[in-house]
Amino acid sequence: MGTNRLSNSFRSRALLLTFFCVLAAKPYAHEQVDAAVFNDITETYYFFFGETFIPKKLGKPLNGGGRLAKFGENLPAKWESGIDAAVFNSNTEKYYFFKRINKEWMFIEKGFGRGESFTEPKHMDDFASNDFPSQCGIHAATYDPIRKIYYFFKRNGDFCSKEQGSNPFVIRNGKFDGNYPDQFDLRAVALRTGTSSENRYFFFSNNNYVSKVRGQPFSGMLLSNRQNWENWPALHNAARKTKPIGITVPEAIFTNPRKAYVDKPSLTLRNRLLKLINAAESEIVVEMFIFDDPTLVKALVRAHERGVYVRVIYDLQRRQKDTARRIHPDFPPGSIDELHEVSRTAIMHNKVGLFDSVATQNGSLEHVVFTASANMYPGAYEKYQDALVIADENIYDGFIEQSHNIVIDDVSYVKSVGGSDRNLRAYFFPRNGKDTAEDILYRIVTNQTYPNFGKLKSIDVKINMGSFTRSVTRSGLRQQLIDIGAMDGGSVEIMVTASKPFGSKDDRYTHADVMKQFQNKRGVEVHLLNENAHSKYMLVKASFENANGKTKTLKIVYAGSHNFTATALRENYENWIKITSSKIYNKYSANFRQILKEEGLL
């Protein structure tokens, strides 16, 4: 089926053109498509998966795969590791590939047919004939040859459009064509042209798609269920190659306080992340401020080799204190799907593992989030650390959205996301407006968060926090803690490391200053520890009494990577998960007490 706008001579000439690459014998295993195009001339789809691509003739099964480097005669070397999006313009008979390099969107183009070569990379401003709007992501792209319009999509369904030959882009903040499906994880778009009623858009996710004719509703299904798509490279047998994990979520885990007290490594958190990687069935995203653990690197490479899509994000600017060596993971070129080095003024401070699906002893567990206070390198394993493991689609989607923003340096930050029930919420930083921790406590104390439970009778707050701030930005949080301690039925305990002062250039308190700030404050006790308290958790136990005299007690944990500093609130990429659970709270409270016991403070 070709477009009715293609002339007979154009189609006759098309039949004489031969595809220009040699295809490998076996299909590739990855199911996460990065880009897709439909070539109106050859009536062929091309799907791009990291370093590889697979063609599919219209009405025929998927063919074998080839290396992306073989797509054309001179693909620039930096582009061989993968592209972000691709389009084919049947009017100009050109392919366009798009990729973000050094924080800038770039493109290369190639004329269709044998002997045509890729151009040198150019900035998107050259493609747009004016400044390419910063609001426009290029996670997926397509071209409508009838209307002569390019469409550039962000993962959330927002898009920009550009008429061929015109300068400005139109920023579209709404969903595409009025009824774009919510929660669709967009990976690629291809437009197949025909008569006006047959022009159909295909929006691809990992192993499913939705399609639509403009002005009509979306429809969709699993790729493997559609005729002629049976060979879609989905990992139907991935579970056989994984190592199922024994897990009950939610889960709270900690480094061993006894080992940490004597500076011995505790691998509890690292090993839990390792088992999740080995159990992953489809996609892994790892975000680490400091990442220098060969065991985890090898596990991620093995996951990639068995067909799991692996994306790693780490902060490039971190260096070891005693040497000039950067602390970063050592992945051989092409050994995983995406490796992103974040280098900007603020830091990417997350310590996160995201798993679309993991094999457990009771079947697949979807949307798993591992968030910790611990970076993954040897020195981190000798500190007081913690991690939460949950499985929740809403929270998982929030983390995925933040990870996309981190990679493209998007200014539209994710603020907070409610879980599938009211017991879960995720907070993402940086944030504008109110101080998150201060506002959380204030709303509990003033009965705004739980107005139906009655009057607040008592509140106990325990904090194990790596860093506090000098900045007035969070002075309100300090005062809120003081006010809670002064309340009837209020108490506050704060745990910090006594022997780890920060430099004068930093805006954080030395830990001795933390003691001074709360000294002689009623109901507030500061515990100065000998060893490094690197956790960032806050525990809240609040009891309410209703008009009938009945008492309800809530036990809440807030944990993740977020320190009580100004930069963590306003500049850094951070996360904090709230979970209301007596089971999880009791484990965190036990960890708090065990640390005090090991330190001889209990």
The whole-number average pLDDT for the span 483-493 is 97
Strand-pairing partners, residue 254, are 386
CB under 8 A, 24+ apart: contacts of 416-424: 418/394, 419/390, 419/392, 419/394, 419/395, 420/392, 420/393, 420/394, 422/580, 423/579, 423/580, 423/581, 424/390, 424/392, 424/394, 424/395, 424/577, 424/578, 424/579, 424/580
Residue 6 has pLDDT above 70, yes or no: no
Q: What percent of the chain has pLDDT over 70?
A: 84
Q: Which tokens belong to 145?
A: 């040859």
Distance CA 446, CA 423 (A): 20
Tokens of 137: 């992501």
Edge to edge, the sheet with strand 338-342 lists: 251-254, 386-391, 363-372, 351-360, 283-288, 309-315, 338-342
User: Which tokens hold the place of 153?
Assistant: 């999509």
> If pLDDT is split at 50, 70 and 90, which confidence band does 194 have?
low
420-447 core/surface letters (b: 16 or more CB in 10 A; e: else)? eeebbbbbbbebeeebbbbbbbbebbee
Is residue 22 pLDDT above 90, yes or no? no
Each residue's pLDDT tens digit, 212-230: 887 777 776 656 555 455 5
Question: Rounded to an integer, what distance in angstroms lies between the CA atom of residue 557 and that of residue 72?
Answer: 54
Query: What is the percentage of the chain residues whose pLDDT exceeds 90?
Result: 47
Which candidate, 425, 487, 494, places its Cα nearest to that of 459? 487
Q: Using one digit for the tens of pLDDT, what is the confidence trace for 66-90? A: 788 888 878 888 898 889 999 999 9
pLDDT band at 329 (very low <50, low <70, confident <90, very high): confident
Question: Which pairs with CB-CB distance under 8 Å and at least 24 residues apart come from 317-323?
Answer: 317/343, 317/347, 318/289, 318/290, 318/347
3-class secondary structure, 33: coil
Which pLDDT band, with edges at 50, 70 and 90, does 233 fall under? low
Q: What is the pLDDT of residue 496?
A: 86
Mean of pLDDT values over 224-244: 57
User: Tell me, what's the pLDDT at 332?
Assistant: 81
- C-alpha span between 596 and 289 (Å, rounded): 28
Report the C-alpha gap between 597 and 574 in whole angstroms.
Answer: 30
Computed on alpha carbons and rounded to an integer, the radius of gyration of the chain in Å comes to: 27
195 band by pLDDT with thresholds 50, 70 and 90:
low
Sheet strand arrangement including 159-163? 140-144, 149-153, 159-163, 170-172
- Mean per-residue pLDDT, 472-500: 89
Residue 238 pLDDT greater than 80, yes or no: no
Q: Which of 6-10, 455-459, 584-588 has the lowest mean pLDDT?
A: 6-10
* Selection from 175-184, 211-220, 460-469 with the highest mean pLDDT: 460-469
Rounded mean pLDDT of 282-305?
A: 92
How far apart, in Å, are the Cα atoms of 254 and each of 271, 371, 375?
11, 12, 13
Cα distance from N-terminal residue to C-terminal residue, the chain: 77
Would you say residue 17 has pLDDT above 80?
A: no
The phi and psi torsions of 476 (rounded to 5 degrees) equal -65, -35
Over residues 123-143, the pLDDT tens digits come to 998 998 878 887 788 889 999
Half-sphere exposure of 575 (CA within 13 A, CB side): 32
Residue-level pLDDT at 197: 55
Closest C-alpha to 140, from 103, 172, 188, 181: 188
Residue that is written with structure tokens 């609001």 in the block: 135
Per the listing, tokens 């403070």 go with 601
How do residues 351-403 score in pLDDT, each as one tens digit? Answer: 999 999 999 989 999 999 999 999 999 999 999 999 999 999 999 999 998 99
pLDDT for residue 36: 92
**pLDDT bracket for residue 325 (50, 70, 90):** low
Residue with the bigger pLDDT between 579 and 334: it is 579
Under the banding of pLDDT at 50, 70 and 90, the label for residue 266 is: very high
- For the cut 60, the answer to whether the pLDDT of residue 505 exceeds it is no
Amino acid 357: pLDDT: 92
Structure tokens at 90: 């049947």
DSSP secondary structure string for all residues of 226-274: STT-TT----TTHHHHS--B---SSEEEE--HHHHHTT----HHHHHHH
Phi (first) and psi of residue 510, to 5 degrees: -65, 155
The residues with which 269 forms a beta bridge, in sequence order, are none
The pTM assigned to this predicted structure is 0.66
Supply the pLDDT for residue 85: 94
Q: How far apart are CA 462 and CA 525, in angstroms?
A: 10
Helix (H) or strand (E) holding 443: helix 436-445
Question: ω into residue 121 within 30 of 0, thus cis?
Answer: no
Amino acid letter for position 52: T
What would the two tokens of residue 114 be? Answer: 């044998």
The pLDDT, as a whole number, for residue 7 is: 29
**pLDDT one-digit tens code per residue, 546-602:** 989 999 999 999 999 999 988 899 999 999 999 999 999 999 999 999 999 999 998
Is the alpha carbon torsion for 52, 203, 406, 408 positive or negative? positive
Q: Which of 16-20, 102-106, 197-201, 432-436 has the lowest mean pLDDT?
A: 16-20
Query: What tens digit of pLDDT does each residue of 531-550 get?
Result: 889 999 999 999 999 989 99
Bigger pLDDT: 519 or 499?
519
Burial 216-248 (b: 16+ CB within 10 A, else e): eebebeebeeeeebeebbbbeebbebbebbebe
- Average pLDDT of every residue of the chain: 83
pLDDT tier, 511 (very low <50, low <70, confident <90, very high otherwise): low
Mean pLDDT on 268-272: 98
Confidence of residue 9 (pLDDT cuts 50, 70, 90): very low
pLDDT number for residue 483: 96
